[in-house]
Amino acid sequence: MGDTLLQHYRNFNIIIAVMINLDAVYSAKLKEGGLSNTIPRRTVFTLLRGADHKPLTMNELIRLASSDCDRASVYRAVEALEKAGIIHKVHYGWKYRLELSEDFHGHHHHIACSNCAKIVAIESSSLLENALHELAATKDFSLTEHSVELRGLCGNCQSKNP
Ligand SMILES: [Zn+2]
Ligand SMILES: [Zn+2]
Ligand SMILES: [Zn+2]
């Protein structure tokens, strides 16, 4: 990654506009996947929708859902919703967090703090997206998907660990 691209990253605004009706997308994708809207599925969807672009760990999701469903139901709901393309797993190394799929949020990346594990959504840019397509093309690949993991120290941790 060149200096210009890194500089570009530092200047990003972390704002992702939601201009679509998330409930309508949810209903349409459930239907498309042949799934009914069970209580655990609805609970998981509602929690992820309310997470405000902060992907949740499975444990966080289970804890937040605990008044409505048990652990096994949450696991099953996540599995079904992932298959239906409603949930997306954000991978960090061998761990992952859960969020709504790009059909709800649009395409974006994330940056995670390696000290406190804070994770935020980060807008992509046509500069980066084009660079990835060009990179793939150098190996004669047509890029169909990608995930970019960014790590660093968040502002809070930078001031604590100068
Ligand atoms: Zn931090
Ligand atoms: Zn996200
Ligand atoms: Zn991207």
Distance 148 CA to ligand 3 centre (A): 7
Q: Are 25 and 103 in contact (CB under 8 A)?
A: yes
Q: What is the tens place of the pLDDT at every residue in 49-88?
A: 988 778 999 999 999 999 999 999 999 999 999 999 999 9
Q: Are 111 and 150 in contact (CB under 8 A)?
A: yes
Distance 85 CA to ligand 1 centre (A): 30
Class of domain 17-105: mainly alpha
Look up the CATH superfamily of 1-15+109-162.
Ferric-uptake regulator, C-terminal dimerisarion domain (3.30.1490.190)
Distance 76 CA to ligand 2 centre (A): 21
Q: What is the tens place of the pLDDT at every residue in 44-56?
A: 999 999 887 789 9
pTM of the predicted structure, to 2 decimals: 0.77
**b/e per residue, 106-130, with b = 16+ CB within 10 A?**
eebbbbbbeeeeebbbbebeeebee
Which secondary-structure segment (H or E) carries 137?
Answer: helix 126-138
| Per-10-residue mean pLDDT, the chain, length 162 | 44 42 92 96 95 88 95 97 95 87 89 88 91 97 91 93 66
Distance 125 CA to ligand 3 centre (A): 8
Spatial CA neighbour of 52 closest among 4, 16, 101: 16
Cα 23-27-33 angle, rounded to 5 deg: 140
Which secondary-structure segment (H or E) carries 42?
Answer: helix 39-50
Kindly list the domain boundaries of the chain, sorted by start residue.
Answer: 1-15+109-162, 17-105
Distance 55 CA to ligand 2 centre (A): 6
Spatial CA neighbour of 17 closest among 88, 111, 104: 104
Judge residue 7's burial from the number of C-beta atoms within 10 Å of its C-beta, 0-12 exposed, 13-18 middle, 19 or more buried.
exposed
Distance 121 CA to ligand 1 centre (A): 14
Distance 149 CA to ligand 1 centre (A): 16
Give the position of tokens 């042949």.
34
